[in-house]
Structure 1
C-alpha cells in the first residue's frame, strides 16, 4: 500500500510559556484513513503543522516516511496540508489557483480537479474571496482530493459545508483513497459522521496523546452496562469506568477496558444489559473533566 508512514516520539512543541504538544508519541502506518480527534485547543493544528514540516519540535521527534520532514524537499513535496479553504490565493480565480497547483504539485491530477469542481458546483471564474464559506470549504476539499499526495492532511476541511456537501465529500474521499491508496489524516470534530471512514485514530487531550489505536479495538473496549445498581456495580468491579448515570434504582455505566467473555456472560446472567458505545460517545467520556 502506498503512502507515507508517520511516527512521533515524545514530541513537544512550545510557544513561549505555552506547551501546545506535550510528549506526544504515536504511529500511523502507511496507507488508509486515520483520524486525529481532540477538543478545541488540544493541539491538533500544531501537530498537523509539525507533520507537514511547517514547524520544528521543541523536543522529541517526528518522522514522515522515515525521515524528519522539516526542510526535506522530497517529503514536503509529497505532503499536502489542506485547511478549511485550501490556503489559496484569495484574489485569484478558482481556475487560476487550480492551474498554479498543477504547476507546483507533481502529484496533481488536473482532470480529477475539474470533475470535483463540477461535482461541488463551483464557479471557476470567481475569485476565491468571492466564494461563500461553504464554497471555499468545498474548494479546499477539491485541493485535498486532487493533489493525491502520499501524505494528505485534511485539517477540518469540512467546516463550512452543509450536511449534504459533507456527505458528498466523505463519499468522494473514501472512493478516492480506495482507488488511489495513500495516507490520509483527517482532523474533525464531527466524529459521528466520520468514524465509519477511519481505520485508526489518535486522540489528543490538552496536548497529550490520550489514545492511539485501531478504531475496531477502541470500540471493543467501550461497553455500556445497564441494570440494577448492585448488579452493575458488581459487573464493573475493577474496570475503568468513564461515565455513570443513575435513574432511580437503575444504573448505566460506561467502561473502557478489556472485557473477557466470562465477565460479560456473568453480567448478562445477573440481568445486566450490554450495549456498544459509539466512538463519539467514547471520545466525549474520555476527554471529559470528570473522566480525567
Structure 2
C-alpha cells in the first residue's frame, strides 16, 4: 500500500508537533522511523493509523484518508509502547477481538507466539508484567499480517533475549510475506541492520530519508588536520564537523575510498550516531 504525506502539519495549542512534512513510502520495506523524544514520531504514527487528524496537509494510503475509514484502518496495525489493550480483557479475548478486526489474521502464528513468550491465555491484561504486556503487543502486531504494521517502542520490559527473538521472528515473517513495517525505537544499534530505509524526524521536520544501505556505504567520518579535512569536504555533503588542537573530524556523505586516498582516517558512521549528529540542537 502506498503512503503519501503532503505538507502535513499537526499543532497542539502552542506546540508544533509536525511541521509541513512531505514524503512517500511506495513499497513494502522495513522502515526505521528515528528521532529524539518529542520529535513528532508518535504524532505521525497516530495520524497514519487514523487515530487523529492533522491540522493541515494530509496523509493518504492508496489515495484515501485513513481517518474514520474502516477499509483502510483494517489494513493498519499500530502497536504502541503501552496501553494497547483494555486491562480487564483476558489474553485470549484480546487475540479473538483482533482476529475479527484484521482480515489477514494468522491464528497459528498467534498461538505459536503465545507459547514462545509463555503467556497464559486466561490471564487478564491487568495482571501481566510490563514485559508480558509488550509481548502481547508484539504478538498482535505480527499475527495481524496488516499490510502496514507499525511498532512504536514495542518491547518495553522485555529482556535482551526476548527482544532478539522478536527481531528474528519479525524478519522471518517479513521474508515470508512482504509488508510495510514502520519501526520506531531508541535501541537503534540493536535493530539498525533490519532497516531497509531510514527516516529521521527532528522538531517536527523530516531531516533525512535515505536507503539504509546507502547510509552504511556512503556515510563516513574523516579525520586529519584541519586543512586536509577542509580540502576534502569542500565539495561534499556535510553532516557535521568538529575540531580540536589543529585536528578535525567531519561526518560526510562521500566515497570512503576517496577519503582514504587523500590520506585521511576513515570510519563508517553507525545509524544511531548519524541520528544523534543530525538531531543535535546546534544546527541540526
For 1:85 and 1:42, the matched residues in 2 are separated by 19
For 2:172 and 2:59, the matched residues in 1 are separated by 29
The answer to whether structure 1 residue 130 and structure 2 residue 96 are counterparts is no
Aligned length: 283
* Higher deviation after alignment, 40-49 or 93-102: 93-102
| 1:52-91 equivalences in 2 (<5 Å) | 52-85=49-82, 87-91=84-88
For 2:216 and 2:86, the matched residues in 1 are separated by 42
For 1:54 and 1:124, the matched residues in 2 are separated by 28
SS in 2 for 1:159: coil
For 1:241 and 1:146, the matched residues in 2 are separated by 39
Deviations 1:227-247 (A, max 9, x none): 23332232223442513253x
* Higher deviation after alignment, 144-153 or 87-96: 87-96
Q: Which residue of structure 2 lines up, in the alignment, with residue 283 of structure 1?
A: 275
* Structure 1: runs of 5+ lacking an equivalent: none
The answer to whether structure 1 residue 120 and structure 2 residue 117 are counterparts is yes
Q: Identify the match of residue 242 of structure 1 among 221, 240, 243.
A: 240
* Higher deviation after alignment, 25-34 or 217-226: 217-226
Q: Is the 8 A contact 1:28 1:34 kept in 2?
A: no
For 1:234 and 1:190, the matched residues in 2 are separated by 36
Q: Which residue of structure 2 lines up, in the alignment, with residue 272 of structure 1?
A: 264
Ranges of 4+ aligned residues in structure 1 off by more than 6 Å: none
TM-score (structure 1 length as normaliser): 0.91
The answer to whether structure 1 residue 223 and structure 2 residue 220 are counterparts is yes
Deviation of residue 260 (structure 1)? 5.2
For 2:91 and 2:255, the matched residues in 1 are separated by 55
* Structure 2: runs of 5+ lacking an equivalent: none
Structure 1 residues 270 and 199: alpha-carbon distance in aligned structure 2, compared to 1, 3 A threshold: closer
For 1:37 and 1:250, the matched residues in 2 are separated by 31
Q: Is the 8 A contact 1:86 1:140 kept in 2?
A: no
Cα root mean square deviation, aligned: 1.8
The answer to whether structure 1 residue 152 and structure 2 residue 144 are counterparts is no
Deviations 1:220-267 (A, max 9, x none): 442111223332232223442513253x55433222x3x358xx53x4
Q: Is the 8 A contact 1:5 1:183 kept in 2?
A: no
